[in-house]
Amino acid sequence: MLVELPRTEAFPDIPAITEAEAAAMARAVVRLFVNWQVSDAEARAILGGLAPRTYARWKAGEPGRIDRDLATRLSLLMGIHKGLRYLFSDPARGYAWVKRPNLAFGGATPLAIMVEGSMFGLSRVRAWLDAERGG
């Protein structure tokens, strides 16, 4: 006998990413960029062209308001980090991976793809990692 499952609401009451979660992701991404040995200019490009002064506040632990675009970028970066942690048991190898040329990206480094600044570059790196781990 078939039983119809209740439908999920299209517009839940809770935003996809809360302000507190976005702020926590911003702090984590700043630490991630340190581990990846990313320059401030590269970090700002990955974050969609964040202003130098704004990124300096992020590094000081004051991310301020994070819009939907930035929250999405942070989420993609957290997914990339998670994918690397699944693929590499040694965190240092995962951190170094972003600066190694990769044939899947036409010989470019994953960092170069992300530094292009487009959301699609971040999505491309994350999708590759998800596919590699079978996710």
pLDDT in tens, the chain (135 residues): 778 877 766 665 665 677 888 889 899 999 999 999 999 999 999 999 999 999 999 999 888 888 889 999 999 999 999 999 999 999 999 999 999 999 999 999 999 999 998 999 999 999 999 999 885
Burial of 128 by CB count in 10 Å (0-12 exposed, 13-18 middle, 19+ buried)? middle
Query: 104: how many CB neighbours lie within 10 A of its CB?
Result: 13
Amino acid in position 17? I
Amino acid in position 50? L
Report which of 121, 87, 89 is spatially closest to residue 104, judged by C-alpha positions: 121
pTM of the model: 0.85
Residue 36's φ and ψ, nearest 5 degrees, are -80, -10
Write out the two tokens for 110.
Answer: 């994953």
45: Cβ contacts below 8 Å, ≥ 6 apart:
115, 116, 117
∠ at Cα 120 (76, 38), nearest 5°? Answer: 60
Residues 49-74, buried b or exposed e (16+ Cβ, 10 A)? ebeeeebeebbeeebeebeeebbbbb
pLDDT at 92: 94
